[in-house]
Chains A and B, each alone.
Chain A
Amino acid sequence: MKILFFGRLGEAIGREIDYDLPAGGCTVAELRAALAARHGGLAAESVRACIDHEIAPETALVLPNHEIAFIPPLSGG
């Protein structure tokens, strides 16, 4: 599945990467830990995960049909 990144994360990592999600999915925390091994910036507490355009808690389940993004704190308009 594709994982999207915005703001400074998009600049550092790229707009999207492909990730092989385990069969049955995983939690946001597990996905974050797996990705942070390669992209350290994702470990920061201020970085939030979004599932289908909504900020999601660390315990939320990520499934293959979801759109997943990691975002830094909003700058506002």
Chain B
Amino acid sequence: MVRLEPGELRPADELERFIATLGGDGAVVSFVGLTRPADAAGAAVGGLFLDAYPGMTEKSLDAIAADALGRFAVSAVRIVHRCGDVAPGAAIVFAAAAATHRRAAFEAADYLMDRLKTDAAFWKREQKLDGPVWIEPSEADRADRARWKD
């Protein structure tokens, strides 16, 4: 259901593998997050480092996936998240949901990403021109998370 990926994340392969596990679903929605080459203020970012806590990070991803399964009429969800050094433009996250009908799959994929942006156990460091900067969730991320009442 979830995987922490220290190496390259290949979204097309992940989607193919996810679809291969399904039986009888009519809809799959997938999302791919890419590392942006600039921060929110437009300053260049040379790369991202994602610190993960082995055990705890997977547990946080598992909890988000389980919540999506319980909340929407989806048959399966998948989260693959990078850790370690991620280059600008590279895929950092793959999230997908499968369902009998498309609406639940769209909603579950949206939910997975909003939860991941605030609740996934990662610590991110952006490599800026003048040095590395540790970052925390933005107000926009918190507002997106608040769309889904517990």
Query: B14: shortest Cβ distance to chain A, in Å?
Result: 15
Contacting residues, chain B, for A67 (C-beta < 8 A): 55
Contacting residues, chain A, for B135 (C-beta < 8 A): 75
Question: Which residue, A50, A67, A74, A75, has most C-beta atoms of chain B within 10 A?
Answer: A75
Contacting residues, chain A, for B134 (C-beta < 8 A): 7-8, 11, 72, 75
Q: Are B116 and A71 in contact (CB under 8 A)?
A: no
Does A53 sit within 8 A of B, measured CB to CB?
Answer: yes
Q: How many residues of B contact A (CB 8 A)?
A: 26
Contacting residues, chain B, for A50 (C-beta < 8 A): 53, 56
Q: Are A76 and B56 in contact (CB under 8 A)?
A: no
Contacting residues, chain A, for B75 (C-beta < 8 A): none
Contacting residues, chain B, for A75 (C-beta < 8 A): 50, 122-124, 134-137
Q: How far is the CA of A74 from the CA of B118 in the complex (A)?
A: 7
Q: Are B117 and A76 in contact (CB under 8 A)?
A: yes
Query: A54: shortest Cβ distance to chain B, in Å?
Result: 8
Contact A71 to B120, CB < 8 A, known contacts A53-B53, A53-B59? no
Q: Are A77 and B120 in contact (CB under 8 A)?
A: yes
Query: How does the 8 Å CB contact mask read for B93-124 relative to A, with 1 for contact and 0 for none?
Result: 10000000000000000000000111111111
Query: How does the 8 Å CB contact mask read for A48-77 relative to B, with 1 for contact and 0 for none?
Result: 001001000000000000010101111111
Can you give 17 A-B contacts (C-beta < 8 A)? Answer: A50-B56, A53-B55, A53-B59, A74-B119, A74-B120, A75-B123, A75-B136, A75-B137, A76-B116, A76-B117, A76-B122, A76-B124, A77-B33, A77-B81, A77-B116, A77-B117, A77-B122
B interface, CB within 8 angstroms of A: 33, 50-53, 55-56, 59, 81, 92-93, 116-125, 134-137, 141
Ranked 3 nearest A-B pairs via Cβ? A7-B123, A77-B120, A75-B124
A interface, CB within 8 angstroms of B: 4, 6-8, 10-11, 50, 53, 67, 69, 71-77
